[in-house]
Amino acid sequence: MNTATATRYAVKYQAIASALPGQTLPWLQTLRAEALMAFSESGFPSPREEEWRYTNVSAIEKKLFSPSISLPAGSIDAQWLKSYQLQDAWVLVLVNGHFSAELSVLDDLPEAVSVMSMAEALAKQPDQVQKHLGLATAQSEHGFVAFNTAWFTDGLFVHVPAKQVLDRPIQLLHIVTDADIMSTTRNIIIVDEMAEAKVIEIFIGVYSATSSEIVADNAYLTAAVTEVYVGQNADLTLYKMQSESEKAYHFGGSYIKQARDARFTHHNFAFGGLLARSDIHADLDHASECELNGLYLGSKRQHIDNHTRINHLKPYAVSREVYKGVLDDRARGVFQGRVIVAIDAQQTDSQMNNRNLLLSDDAEADTKPQLEIYADDVKCGHGVTVGQLDEKSIFYLQSRGIDEETARNMLTFAFANEMVDKIKIKGLHDMVLEQVLTRFPQEGVNKEWL
């Protein structure tokens, strides 16, 4: 990317700078200034960088998305919102990157637990934020992280103290209401020693207050960064579903630091956007366990990229990764999975798997598993498949009376559903299932029977 475009964005920064949260905090001002500098120099990542070789974000350069300065006026249809809001959850809603207290549900939180907007956390717990902001990822990672650090307007802050087990999930709901804007949010999730929590992050497309529906053909930019800290022997499950509108650009990065014996599970459902990229990078300590699951569905001209990195830094850690993609029309799916085993990470046990189902001749899957092993006593494996439906399975279903087309639809659905079935929260499971069913042929898949 040329730096002229970065400069154009940087100029826009001046307009919003005073409205950004935490501007009274010198350390944050410095951090943002550094990030802006880094972004001005590097711009957005280019395909010349190895980690971005299959994904060209130059289309974002051509558009100049505008920051949203405050919470938009106008109400959001409660009925519509309900279809995305989980019952029995603490819900934090961000509209165009700004916290909406009115739409959020944060009652009955256990006393010692913090679930609040990033702006509120910067006002009430600046030390906690300072300690964690930019620790799990740095601006040097790539342009999007720098961009996010410079611009973030709000986000979610979660702190679960030691031994606290949350009985409800925390849901973060991102809604964008206007075209041509950018929603830039930063989240911090801290789960202390022996604590347990589930956090759900959902991105949904442009919502029009006037027509009460998702306006599918508007472009906007999401750039979200989540930093996650899982304490010793703590347990965190993070769910992400991005169902951005058809012309949206999405970058979402989750950067995780796991302490000794910490368990982290990530479920990544990438469905929407014209161009969408996810980063999931985890650093593992002694005997940490890390499970990454992913499902990406692409059709039309969608480009969906998932980039994972699992860093085995210490001995005895276990990682399991399964990513599945279903690609139709001219869609392109990218999977880059890196597993790095450091020299003293002996007894590492790691398995990575990426499977792609191509439904059309023009669909494309680029998959690149990378194992970098510096220790000598480890068990690491990976597998990759790109292909069509299994003819044996089709015949098996036909031999039970199911016609070929229905069999194909059932198997396509089943391929995806295997990942949906891993969701243990009923409301979320149903929501994700609904998304899968609306995106792929349903004939032959009877929802009532599932």
Partner 1 sequence: MLSIKDLTVNVNDKQILKGINLEIKPGEIHAIMGPNGSGKSTLSHVLSGKAGYTVTGGSATYQGKDLLEMSPEIRAREGVFLAFQYPVEIPGVSNIYLLKAALNSIRKHNDQPEVDAMDFLTLVKEKVCLLEMDEKFLYRAVNEGFSGGEKKRNEILQMAILEPKLCIMDETDSGLDIDALKIVAEGVNSLRSAERSFVMVTHYQRLLDYIKPDFVHVLAQGRIVKSGGPELALELEEKGYGWVEDNQAAA
Give the residue among 220, 338, 348, 198 at the shortest CA–CA distance from 279: 338
Q: Give CA separation, 328 vs 188, 218, 275, 443, 450, in Å.
A: 35, 22, 15, 16, 24
CB of 444 to partner 1, least distance (A): 8
Other C-beta atoms lying within 10 Å of the C-beta of residue 168? 17
**Are the CB atoms for 130 and 16 separated by under 8 Å?**
no
Binds partner 1 (CB under 8 A): choice among 226, 417, 433, 435: 417
Residue with tokens 């207050």: 209
Q: Give CA separation, 398 vs 402, 406, 450, in Å.
A: 5, 9, 19
CB of 385 to partner 1, least distance (A): 13
Cβ neighbours of residue 228 closer than 8 Å, sequence gap 6 or more:
136, 189, 191, 236, 238, 254, 255, 256, 257, 264
CB of 378 to partner 1, least distance (A): 26
Does 414 bind partner 1 (CB under 8 A)? Our answer is yes
* b/e burial code for range 388-403 (CB count within 10 A of at least 16 → b): ebeeeebeebeeeebe
Binds partner 1 (CB under 8 A): choice among 413, 423, 425, 432: 413
Which positions from 338 to 377 touch partner 1 by CB under 8 A, shown as an x/- string? ----------------------------------------
Tokens representing 434? 């609904």
Does 41 bind partner 1 (CB under 8 A)? Our answer is no
Where in 419-438 is the site for partner 1 (CB under 8 A)? 421
Binds partner 1 (CB under 8 A): choice among 151, 255, 415, 440: 415
The residue count for binding partner 1 (CB under 8 A) is 28
CB of 174 to partner 1, least distance (A): 28
CB of 383 to partner 1, least distance (A): 15
Does 446 bind partner 1 (CB under 8 A)? Our answer is yes
**Are the CB atoms for 270 and 278 separated by under 8 Å?**
yes
CA dihedral 383, 389, 390, 393 (to 10 degrees): 130
CB nearer to partner 1: give 228 or 433.
433
H or E element in which residue 80 lies: helix 78-82
CB of 399 to partner 1, least distance (A): 5
CB nearer to partner 1: give 378 or 420.
420
Where in 373-412 is the site for partner 1 (CB under 8 A)? 390-393, 395-404, 406, 410-411
CB nearer to partner 1: give 44 or 413.
413
Own/partner contacts of 385-390, CB < 8 Å, gap of 24 or more, are 385/354, 385/355, 385/356, 386/355, 386/356, 386/358, 387/356, 387/357, 387/358, 388/357, 388/358, 389/357, 389/415
CB nearer to partner 1: give 62 or 392.
392
Q: Report the SS3 class of residue 294.
A: strand
CB nearer to partner 1: give 366 or 418.
418
Does 158 bind partner 1 (CB under 8 A)? Our answer is no
CB of 387 to partner 1, least distance (A): 15
CB nearer to partner 1: give 74 or 387.
387
CB of 157 to partner 1, least distance (A): 37
CB nearer to partner 1: give 9 or 440.
440
Does 443 bind partner 1 (CB under 8 A)? Our answer is no
H or E element in which residue 177 lies: none
CB nearer to partner 1: give 229 or 415.
415
CB nearer to partner 1: give 140 or 399.
399
CB of 369 to partner 1, least distance (A): 20
CB of 435 to partner 1, least distance (A): 16
Pairing status of strand 275-284 against strand 249-258: parallel
Separation between Cα atoms, residue 374 and residue 371, nearest integer Å: 10
CB nearer to partner 1: give 223 or 420.
420
* 67 strand-pairing partners: 182
H or E element in which residue 366 lies: strand 364-373
Q: Report the SS3 class of residue 218.
A: coil
Binding residues (CB under 8 A) for partner 1: these are: 390-393, 395-404, 406, 410-411, 413-418, 421, 444, 446, 449-450
